[in-house]
Structure 1
Amino acid sequence: MIRGEDYAHLWIEEGILHFVYKPNTVIDLEAARAIVKTRLRFQNGTPYPILCDVRLMKTASKGAREYLAEKGCINTLAVAFVIDQAYSGTLIKAFITISNPSVPTKAFTTIAEALSFLSRYN
């Protein structure tokens, strides 16, 4: 059985949900569904701005990205991606442009910048 906890660590700090992907994570559609299910259960009905650290994630399939753009925005006020590598940056920029998430979504290279963006939605 696939569990969202297998892919990321999550916690809430100062009203922001932190979602940090584990090293070399590969997300397919089945994993994306498990991740969203875990996050929604963790939030227990409360919407949060989300800091999503993808610096160590390896990749996500097209189906996973589309699912996360639609269902991944449920109970989400805004999303700030923290990116590091050129590959992650390209993947996330494509996700934002092509998948068009339904909540404000931006990519940043530092956690401080991401938190500053999210503080507007807290």
Structure 2
Amino acid sequence: MFINTLLAAIPIDKQLKHVPIVKNMYDASNTPLKPIFDTTKITFLDKAEHFFNTTDKIINLIAHPILIVNGLAGASFYIAASVGITGLIFYIIGYKKGMKYVVGSLVGYTLIQILNYGVDLLC
């Protein structure tokens, strides 16, 4: 009712003057040939692209936690080997708690691999 009152106040020849006539949805006759914005002059586009790529990777890791488990399992060998060798060196030097690091790294590596195998079976 209110809209009809407003439209009645506008002359008919000016009501639809701004609306372009489109014959079909694929009509591109009024599309500009030259881009409106020159994207080479916009300075923050690289930073925005990097931000959205990083955000996409984080959301992908949150949505697929198997990637985190597989990544930890892949790196666990090198971590366990370096901790075990360091602990063995300390034990040879005379620091008796070094053997706990050797055993702990072996047990930790074994548990991480068991967890990775179990997660791979589930997925």
Common fold by TM > 0.5: no
- Normalized against structure 1, the TM-score is what? 0.21
Greater strand share, 1 or 2?
A: 1
1 or 2 for the larger relative contact order (CA 8 Å, sep ≥6)?
Answer: 1
TM-score, normalised to structure 2's length? Answer: 0.21
Question: Which of 1 and 2 has greater Rg?
Answer: 2
